[in-house]
A and B are shown apart, each in its own frame.
Chain A
Amino acid sequence: MENTRVIDPQQRPAGTVKLEYFEKKLQGSEAGRRVIEIFAQHGEEVIDLVNQNRRVGVTWQRCHGPVFIQTMLKQGLGDETRIPRSIDGVTLSDLLLRMGDALQQNGSPELKRQIGRSTLHVLQWAEGCKSLGEMVQWIHGKSEEKD
């Protein structure tokens, strides 16, 4: 049963995203650099919570987080990589909302604050972007909006 599964603390969630792709692509704008900074600040805590916090881990599994990641990794990471819309009835927005909620409930106050600030943009990506390339362009577009 999921809630009795022992999670190996050394194990990374299925398909740890190769961040180099994103780091290269996002450097070109202020909004992109901000996203990298957020990952640097909170990424480790998020991975630890997925691996070691039962509630967060169960939410990740139940919302098919590993399958979403694997589906993209199988295509190879590039601008044309399609972002799956849904897996077994769970939409990407469902996954992101529930993970955001699980992380804000179980994470540090700083993570909770960041979740509050970022969830809207993350859900907008999920709604509007069909590929990783579109997602990167959307993020860059945010810098232009501010300018």
Chain B
Amino acid sequence: MAQNFRTQREREQKRLESRLAEVEYEMKKIPGVVGVAVGIKEVANRPTQDLVFQVYVKEKKSLKDLPARERIPAEIDGIATDVILLESPSATADSSEHRPIVGGSEIDQGKGAGTLGCISIATAGSLAPVDSIVLLTNSHVAPTIGKLVGQPSVPSDCGCCKCCDVGKIVDSRITTLVDGAIATLNEGTRFTNEVLDIGPLGGSHTPTSAGGTVFKRGRTSGLTRGTISTLSAPSFTRDDGNTFNRQIRVVSTNPATPFQLGGDSGSVLVDDQNRVIGLMHAAILPAGTPAFACHIADVSNLLKIKIETSGSADTMPLSSLVEEMAPVALEEWFGHLRLELESNPRGRRIQAQFRAFYGEIQRLVQKNREVKVAWQRYHGPGFISHWIKSAKQRDYLVPDEIEGIGIQNLLIRMAVVLQNQGGPELNDMVKGHLLEVLTLFDGCRSLPELVEKIKRSEQSLQRRKVEA
């Protein structure tokens, strides 16, 4: 039912948009009309679900004060209109420290506190290194390229206090479509791709109709809920003199509460599936509603970034924690095992296989989303840590399971994802050796036990060859 309603509304949105240019041309003949958009009707500042032509005016007047030719019709060819006052919004400023770095928290470059929108990844053409992790916020929050940005408070460029420094702004621009800035993270700064009070993000999305429920979490007004009034508000000029076109206009669900206040600038606008659809930058103050956001597609195209999914089924929290654990720990663990296996032909074969495919597996665990998710969700780093401990402490027993997941569950999952995502040789290797690996780890809880099993199975194989 919800799906049908959404489809109908999208169709209706498209129908109205096909008439928009012609309607706007006619309406602008009326003095005082500055623009027309397709959006939802607002009644007493409350959003409804009716799609209408929103007619924006500089000043609202009573009908009795207007001659007939200057009155905006109640409907145009059967489509209702809604007269909306175009105001000049103001660029908008929890001051707590958050580690790992997380969206929705305060960020400051010394121009007044704003909000860290979310974590994103630099793509080709970005001023940040490709595939590097970057923080996203507004340009008017962090305008100076090359300068540090702090969470929560102003960083100390002089170096006397570095505890708040989290990154450096590499790109910061205001255009008629975008008010955006990105910062690379300082080395060692941990992050997680979630937004406070909202949770893990579901990537980005371009909405196709007005009326949808949206949320934002800013450092001033916290988590707020609103409705998309229109996806293409007419041109407006902010109180800092910057003019914007085609912005997302949002009204607060409860007109008595603000959607966005000063200091919330830079927060991401998300839909009801936690997909980022916009970057907040302005609001009518002091009411805090309506508020305005750049389309995230425009932000991504300009700053050359992408926002990854995180946290839902088949995705992962985009987090520094996985990258710390996977490749170094696996190499270290195998280093311990290698010493034990040198004298054993089967052990040497296992080493050769490991060496042949380690690089590819390492790259997949680090870079491939399906493999990364599987490795983390099935506690790959956790199991590796226990096996390393077993290598260092001979009497240490690796736990049977970590949070309900056994090592066999991990091996099954990894076998499937490595076959799905790896090259043909890796695929063959996994298929050919899965049974052997599952057998070796079956019931095995320490490194010495694992080594013994390898040696015994080699001896048993040699005996069978002799008997044959």
Q: Contact residues of A with B, CB < 8 Å?
A: 93-94, 97-98, 100-101, 104-105, 109, 112-113, 115-117, 119-120, 123-124, 127
- Closest chain A CB from B431 CB (angstroms): 8
Interface of A is mostly: helix
In the complex where A97-B416, A101-B413, A104-B413 touch, is A117 in contact with B435 (Cβ < 8 A)?
no
Check A117–B413 contact: CB distance below 8 A. no
- Closest chain B CB from A104 CB (angstroms): 6
- Closest chain A CB from B378 CB (angstroms): 9
A104: which B residues are within 8 A, CB to CB? 409, 412-413
Comparing B126-134, B323-331, B347-355, B400-408, the segment that makes contact with chain A is: B400-408
Q: Contact residues of B with A, CB < 8 Å?
A: 401, 404-409, 412-413, 415-416, 431, 434-435, 438-439, 442
A105: which B residues are within 8 A, CB to CB? 413
B404: which A residues are within 8 A, CB to CB? 109, 112-113
- Closest chain B CB from A100 CB (angstroms): 6
Q: What's the Cα separation between A116 and B443 when bound, in Å? A: 11
B438: which A residues are within 8 A, CB to CB? 119-120, 123
Q: What's the Cα separation between A115 and B409 when bound, in Å? A: 7
Of all A-B residue pairs in the complex, the 3 with the closest CB atoms, nearest first, are A116-B406, A116-B408, A116-B409
Tell me which of B406, B431, B435 contacts A124 (CB under 8 A). Answer: B435
Check B412–A113 contact: CB distance below 8 A. no
Check A101–B416 contact: CB distance below 8 A. yes
- Closest chain A CB from B360 CB (angstroms): 20
Check A116–B412 contact: CB distance below 8 A. yes
**Cβ contacts A to B, 27 pairs, < 8 Å:** A94-B431, A97-B412, A97-B415, A98-B416, A101-B412, A101-B413, A101-B416, A104-B409, A104-B412, A104-B413, A105-B413, A112-B404, A113-B401, A113-B404, A115-B412, A116-B401, A116-B405, A117-B406, A117-B408, A119-B408, A119-B412, A119-B438, A120-B408, A120-B439, A120-B442, A123-B434, A127-B435
Q: Which of B413, B416, B434, B439 lies at the interface centre, i.e. has the most chain A CB atoms within 10 A of its CB?
A: B416
A117: which B residues are within 8 A, CB to CB? 406, 408
Q: What's the Cα separation between A129 and B365 when bound, in Å? A: 35
Q: What's the Cα separation between A104 and B414 when bound, in Å? A: 13
- Closest chain B CB from A141 CB (angstroms): 16
B405: which A residues are within 8 A, CB to CB? 112, 116
Q: What's the Cα separation between A65 and B416 when bound, in Å? A: 17
- Closest chain B CB from A76 CB (angstroms): 30
- Closest chain A CB from B170 CB (angstroms): 39
- Closest chain B CB from A49 CB (angstroms): 15
Known: A98-B416, A101-B415, A112-B405. 8 other contacts (CB 8 A): A94-B431, A101-B412, A116-B401, A117-B406, A120-B408, A120-B442, A123-B434, A123-B435
A119: which B residues are within 8 A, CB to CB? 408, 412, 438
B408: which A residues are within 8 A, CB to CB? 116-117, 119-120
A115: which B residues are within 8 A, CB to CB? 409, 412
Using CB atoms, name the residue of chain A closest to B430: A97
